[in-house]
Amino acid sequence: MSNKVYIETYGCQMNVADSEVVISILSDKGFQLTQNINDAGLILLNTCSIRENAEQRIWSRLKAIKHLKKKNGEIIIGLIGCMAERLKKRVLETDQLVDIVVGPDAYRELPLLVAEAESGHKAINVLLSREETYADISPVRMDKNGVSSFVSIMRGCNNMCAYCVVPYVRGAERSRDPQSILREVKELFDSGYREVTLLGQNVDSYKWIFNDKVITFSGLLEMVTQVNPLLRVRFSTSHPKDISDDLLKTIAGYDNICKHIHLPAQSGSSRILKLMNREYSREWYMDRIRAIRSIIPDCSLSTDMISGFCTETEEDHQASLSLMEWAGFDFAYMFKYSERPGTKAARKYKDDIPDEIKTKRLNEIISLQNKLSSVSKKHDVGKVFEVLIEGPSKRSQEFLSGRTSQNKVVVFPGEGHKKGEYINVFIERCTSATLIGKIVK
């Protein structure tokens, strides 16, 4: 078998970070990363289970790579990540093509499992762990720009949102040793990175106990900001029930903590939020937004919204729209509810909203968000923002692209500047996705 490994990553940023851990583990055992699937002896799909269509995409992808295996029977195909964890050995029964199945907490076993598959046996490890954080592993960076990177600070999730498969596929919440986080962040800074995004399902509940001292997420953020003032720090995802004034004050207190909070609301109806087991009401969510606006006045806000959760009425849907309008989100990820087997919603409630209604409501949510995103960008025209340059813009080499602290993309004539530099840009106009401006000296 060729020792080249090819990996495709689906789903969230956490999976992107995990793929970098997987490649690090395999590189240590002599595997080489390739960008060309036709060269690979080992093909890995790092999968997502969050919605049914995420899984369907992966089944079709598996079908599409069948011809490679037909041409060369020695190729090993591995399904890893959340879908591997959810379906366990059923994957091997459903698709004869797959040789190995590995859940998110078993990546250290990958070299062994590949060897087992090489000797002709199907191999599987989907054990979840209470401790595994891959703290000692230095991820092999696969990002394109060399400026911004993800750093995983915790794994798993202890919230039991009724719709969500994550606690089942990623196990219980556990935080990573802050020293290992700092080591990774310093290595990134030293190799030219200027932005890290600290990742966890619920970063607000980060907690590390050492010598009877508790390090909270606020404490961790402060430690990471100290690595270097030229390093920007982002984080995701915050939970409305846990985001505290103390954390907001920390965010406000450091120039290099980005002024952007991703705070998924999911719904604007307190009745639906209760059914979703989100542990906050519409009023609580609004109170948290008021706190953000008063403690961090220049903060941008993004959210996740779900349309058509079980029993959602037109009135509940209108409450979602009115919350979005009131909050004036700068950005949103928006989804139709998709029932996931084994979750509380699947066990206890009926998925009773017809697909046409879910779609209609989702479309209304999307068109409202388009309006809000456009208002948010127009608001920036005429102002100056500090931008971290990420590289040439997609359209033209003469233009550079970067982001504001608020996470908005800015494109401007490069004037000889390079990625990784900070410059001030005056915003002249905007398109639907981008701010456009010029450098001010």
- Give the interface with ligand 5AD as residue ranges (CB under 6 A): 50-51, 163-164, 264, 266, 304, 306, 335, 337-338, 340
When CB distances are held under 5 to 8 angstroms depending on the partner's kind, the choice from ligand 5AD, ligand SF4, none that residue 404 binds is none
Residues 35-54 that bind ligand SF4 (CB under 6 A): 48-50
Q: Is residue 199 at the binding interface for ligand SF4, with CB under 6 A as the rule?
A: no
Nearest to 149 by CA among 192, 179, 183: 192
Q: Across the strands, what pairs with 125?
A: 102
Query: What is the nearest approach in angstroms of ligand 5AD to the Cβ of residue 168?
Result: 11
Q: Are 193 and 368 in contact (CB under 8 A)?
A: no
Question: Which residues, including other chains, have CB under 8 Å from residue 396's CB and lie 6 or more apart?
Answer: none
Q: 425 is in the binding site of which of ligand 5AD, ligand SF4, none (Cβ under 5 to 8 A by kind)? A: none
* Contacted entry of ligand SF4, ligand 5AD, none for residue 181, CB cut-off 5 to 8 Å set by kind: none
The entry of ligand 5AD, ligand SF4, none near residue 296 (CB within 5 to 8 angstroms by kind) is: none
Q: Which residue is nearest to ligand 5AD (CB)?
A: 304
Which does residue 208 touch among ligand SF4, ligand 5AD, none (CB within 5 to 8 A, set by kind)? none
Q: Rounded to the nearest whole angstrom, what is the least distance from the CB of residue 54 to ligand SF4 in the complex? A: 6
Please name the amino acid found at residue 198.
L
Q: Are 207 and 232 in contact (CB under 8 A)?
A: no
Round to the nearest angstrom and report the end-to-end CA distance of the chain.
56
Contact track, ligand SF4, 63-102, x by CB under 6 A: -------------------x--------------------
Q: Which does 51 bind (CB under 5 to 8 A by kind): ligand SF4, ligand 5AD, none?
A: ligand 5AD
354, two tokens: 């017809």
Dist CA 107 CA 113 (whole Å): 10
Q: In this structure, are residues 174 and 156 in contact, taking their beta carbons and an 8 Å threshold?
A: yes
Measured in degrees and rounded to the nearest 5, phi and psi for residue 276 equal: -75, -10
Nearer to ligand 5AD, 15 or 225 (CB): 15
**Can you tell me the distance from the alpha carbon of 385 to that of 427, in angstroms, rounded to the nearest whole number?**
8
320 binds, among ligand SF4, ligand 5AD, none (CB under 5 to 8 A by kind): none
**Per CB under 6 A, does 302 bind ligand SF4?**
no
Q: Is 277 helix (H, G, I), strand (E, B) or coil?
A: coil
**Residue 414 Cβ vs ligand 5AD, minimum distance, rounded to whole Å:** 35
Residue 118 Cβ vs ligand 5AD, minimum distance, rounded to whole Å: 36
Kindly give the interhelix angle for 245-253 and 217-225, rounded to the nearest 10 degrees: 10
Which residue is it, tokens 């430690």? 223
| Nearest in space to 247 (alpha carbons), one of 215, 285, 219 | 219
Report d(CA 250, CA 231) in Å as an integer. Answer: 16
Q: Which residues from 142-171 bind ligand SF4, rule CB under 6 A?
A: 165-166, 169-170
By CB under 6 A, residue 17 contacts ligand SF4: no
Name the token pair of 220.
Answer: 């961790």
Which parts of this chain interact with ligand SF4 (CB under 6 A)? 11-12, 14-15, 48-50, 82, 165-166, 169-170
